[in-house]
Structure 1
Amino acid sequence: MEAEQFPNAMDHQIGGLRDLFGSLTDEDMVTIKTKVPGGGPAPLGLGIFLGPGKWLTGYRMQLFLYAKAAGNPDIGTANCWAGVDPRPK
């Protein structure tokens, strides 16, 4: 994929996610079972919450720690926790 194609590809994926989530009911979130990483079956709603709320946060921090350990002096705590550059001193 060329860089200029990326925004349209993301828009396409967002449309698919909107369609998927738009088709789910509150009952689906409780009754449909799914597998979660490192665990057994869980209700779909819990699985959706845990994915970004738990595991993606951990992966983001791991990537930050690798970049910091590799000697990147331009990133700090604000980058890790808030996703923003630190305030100038």
Structure 2
Amino acid sequence: MYKQHLLNAIVKEMKICKRLYTKIPHDKMDFKTKEELRSIHELLQYLCIIGTAPLDYWMNKSDLPFNTFFGEVTAASKKLPHEQFLALMDEQIDIINKLFTQFTEDDLFHKEIVYPWGEKGPLGEGIISTCIKFMAAYKLQLFLHIKLCSDQKLGTADAWLLTDLSS
């Protein structure tokens, strides 16, 4: 049951990101709040990998150093055009569903993983601390960028629920 709750949380974040994408004026893809921060397009590219990359590493790629694996995934994401975002997020939903078939409920509590920053912990905690938190954090950056660069009437609920307050 815990496993399904974690999966539901990640998929919901991805679906909210898909809906937020539809609110972005396409002439604002290069908008950024400060020069050294990600643009909307760069946030979209990152959102296309960050919800699945840590779990993919733990389940399938742990023979590589994490920084090598993640560097390759990040480099590939930087080539993604924003027009593919909705399809790519659908792919991410498929990937996360497949990744969740590779472990058991018991693994969430007992399988030890190594976080990207070197600490060790149980798989379930790792999924919360990376996949879920990263999706939520970057989704909120996207939400705020959209609010700052457009006249979209987005409310707080648009960042957390699968709802459309502007219609």
TM over 0.5: yes
Q: Aligned pair 1:10/2:91, yes or no?
A: yes
Q: Output the amino acid matched with 2:130.
A: G
CA distance in 2, matches of 1:54, 1:86: 24
CA distance in 2, matches of 1:29, 1:37: 17
Tell me the CA shift for residue 83 of structure 1: 3.6
Q: Output the amino acid matched with 1:76.
A: L
Unaligned 5+ segments in structure 2 are 1-83
2:6 — aligned with what? none
Tell me the CA shift for residue 45 of structure 1: 1.3
Q: Percent identity?
A: 26
Unaligned 5+ segments in structure 1 are none
Larger Rg: 1
Q: Aligned pair 1:74/2:152, yes or no?
A: yes
Tell me the CA shift for residue 73 of structure 1: 1.3
Tell me the CA shift for residue 57 of structure 1: 1.0
Deviates more, 1:41-50 or 1:75-84: 75-84
Q: Aligned pair 1:29/2:124, yes or no?
A: no
| Residue-by-residue CA offset, 1:17-57 (whole Å, 9 max, x unaligned) | 55543342333222222234567221001112333432211
| Residue-by-residue CA offset, 1:60-83 (whole Å, 9 max, x unaligned) | 11111111111x112311322224
TM-score if structure 2 supplies the norm length? 0.37
TM-score if structure 1 supplies the norm length? 0.59
Which structure ranks higher in relative contact order (CA pairs < 8 Å, sequence separation ≥ 6)?
2
Q: Output the amino acid matched with 1:33.
A: E
Q: Aligned pair 1:63/2:142, yes or no?
A: yes
Tell me the CA shift for residue 87 of structure 1: 5.2
SS in 1 for 2:91: helix
Q: Output the amino acid matched with 1:67.
A: I
